[in-house]
């Protein structure tokens, strides 16, 4: 008979041996046939037959497996760990909406990191050494500063190499990314060279004089007419020429009884429309405030692989 629902074997009825009672061939054959069927339906250790249904493990482990070689093979934990570790390596960066870094990663929060006794503000653990070495060798003191375990600035030159700096429990800065747009390092065609982990830019900006476009300001001067007095007692007044151009278009002469004369403009006013030759400044205008300098941007957390 087949196994019971719980998987245990139950001997067929009327096949049990009774003391001092001969076993008949019918009972014997029934028992042997049933046992044979159950053995056939059991898992063959030599792999000569396949399972015909799912094999529940009841929360137990399958141990001692070899690494898979084809797509349908089961995978060991070691194989999975080794394979997935290759997806990211030390120094790789990813964006996330998580507030806590994944295992083996550290959030870029503009802090520092290093050994367990480094005093790193973001992480102080031995697992940070690969990233420490990478940043020590691939960046510089200006963009990724190095600190002593006491928090004082030091330099890569003073520490000689990454191994020495690590042994001295120095703290390494994380690349600055908080509130910043990320871009590719290097020098694109027609663009400025940007070093690895450099940072620059500003959220707002006030234009300087050199940044302003070339322009003019109009200057308006009005004169409702005026006179100037002078005296020429010993001179003969001759013909007085008139200027027919701007800004003064005529002169009127009045003789006085004492030999003086007065010259007055014949217009109602004088106007100057260009400020090019006027030494005084025009009135200031504008707020002199900063303008928004931000591109449309979306913000995420950033983490880097240890």
Q: What is the mean pLDDT of the chain?
A: 82
Gap between the terminal Cα atoms of the chain: 60
Whether residues 162 and 107 share a domain: the answer is yes
Q: Which helix (H) or strand (E) holds 228?
A: strand 227-231
Residue 45 and residue 97 in one domain: no
pLDDT above 60 (res 108): yes
In a domain, 145, yes or no: yes
Question: Would you say residue 148 has pLDDT above 60?
Answer: yes
Q: Are residues 103 and 166 in the same domain?
A: yes
Which of 155, 173, 191 is the last residue in one of the domains? Answer: 173
More confident residue, 193 or 266: 193
In the chain, the number of structural domains is 2
Torsion of Cα atoms, 150 then 156 then 162 then 168, to 10°: -30
Mean pLDDT computed over 191-216: 88
User: Taking residues 265-273, what's their average pLDDT?
Assistant: 50
Residue 234 lies in a domain: no
Note whether residue 28 is domain-resident: yes
- Which has the higher per-residue pLDDT, 247 or 137? 137
> Is residue 34, in this structure, part of any structural domain at all?
yes
Lowest-confidence pick of 123-127, 212-216, 219-223, 232-236: 232-236
Q: Are residues 34 and 102 in the same domain?
A: no
Model pLDDT, residue 238: 46
Residue 20: inside a domain, yes or no?
Answer: yes
Q: Which of 140, 173, 206 is the last residue of a domain?
A: 173
pLDDT of 240 strictly over 60: no
Q: Are residues 37 and 109 part of one domain?
A: no
pLDDT band at 277; cut points 50, 70, 90: low
* pLDDT per residue as tens digits for the range 8-19: 888 888 888 888
C-alpha dihedral sign at 202, 208, 214, 217? positive
Domain membership of residue 76 (yes or no) is no
Average pLDDT for 212-216: 83
Range of the domain at 15: 1-49
Q: Annotate 95-160 with DSSP letters as a single string.
A: EES-SSPPTTEEE--S-EEESTTS--SSEESGGGHHHHHHHHHHS-TTTS-EE-TTS-EE-HHHH-
More reliable by pLDDT, 279 or 48: 48
- Residue 12 located in a structural domain: yes
Q: Is residue 118 part of a domain?
A: yes
Determine the pLDDT at residue 158: 98
Cα–chain-centroid distance for residue 115? 25
Contact present, 204 and 292 (Cβ < 8 Å)? yes
Residue 99 and residue 159 share a domain: yes
Domain boundary residue, one of 128, 150, 173 = 173
The reported pTM is: 0.60
């Amino acid at each position: 008979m087949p196994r019971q629902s719980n998987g245990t074997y139950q001997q067929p009825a009327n096949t049990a041996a009774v003391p001092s009672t001969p076993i008949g061939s019918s009972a014997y054959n029934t028992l042997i046939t049933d046992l044979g069927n159950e053995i056939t339906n059991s898992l063959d250790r030599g792999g000569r037959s396949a399972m015909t249904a799912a094999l529940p493990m009841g929360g137990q482990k399958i141990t001692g497996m070899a690494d898979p070689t084809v797509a349908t093979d089961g995978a060991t934990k070691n194989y999975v760990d080794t394979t997935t570790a290759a997806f990211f390596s030390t120094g790789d960066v990813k964006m996330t909406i998580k507030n806590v870094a994944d295992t083996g990663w550290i959030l870029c929060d503009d802090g520092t990191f290093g050994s367990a006794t480094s005093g790193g503000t973001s992480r102080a653990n031995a697992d940070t050494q690969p990233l420490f070495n990478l940043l020590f060798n691939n960046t510089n003191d200006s963009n990724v500063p190095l600190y002593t375990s006491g928090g004082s600035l030091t330099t890569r030159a003073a520490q000689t190499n990454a191994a020495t700096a690590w042994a001295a429990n120095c703290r390494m800065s994380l690349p600055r990314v908080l509130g910043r747009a990320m871009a590719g390092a290097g020098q694109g065609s027609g663009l400025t060279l940007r070093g690895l982990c450099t940072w620059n830019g500003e959220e707002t900006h006030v234009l300087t004089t050199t940044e302003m476009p070339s322009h003019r300001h109009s200057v308006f001067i009005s004169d409702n007419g005026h006179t100037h007095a002078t005296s020429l007692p010993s001179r003969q007044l001759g013909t007085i020429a008139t200027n027919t151009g701007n800004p003064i278009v005529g002169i009127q002469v009045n003789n006085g009884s004492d030999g003086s004369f007065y010259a007055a403009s014949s217009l109602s006013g004088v106007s100057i429309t260009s400020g090019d030759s006027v030494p005084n400044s025009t009135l200031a205008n504008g707020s002199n405030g900063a303008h928004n300098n931000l591109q449309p941007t979306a913000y995420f957390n950033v983490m880097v692989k240890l």
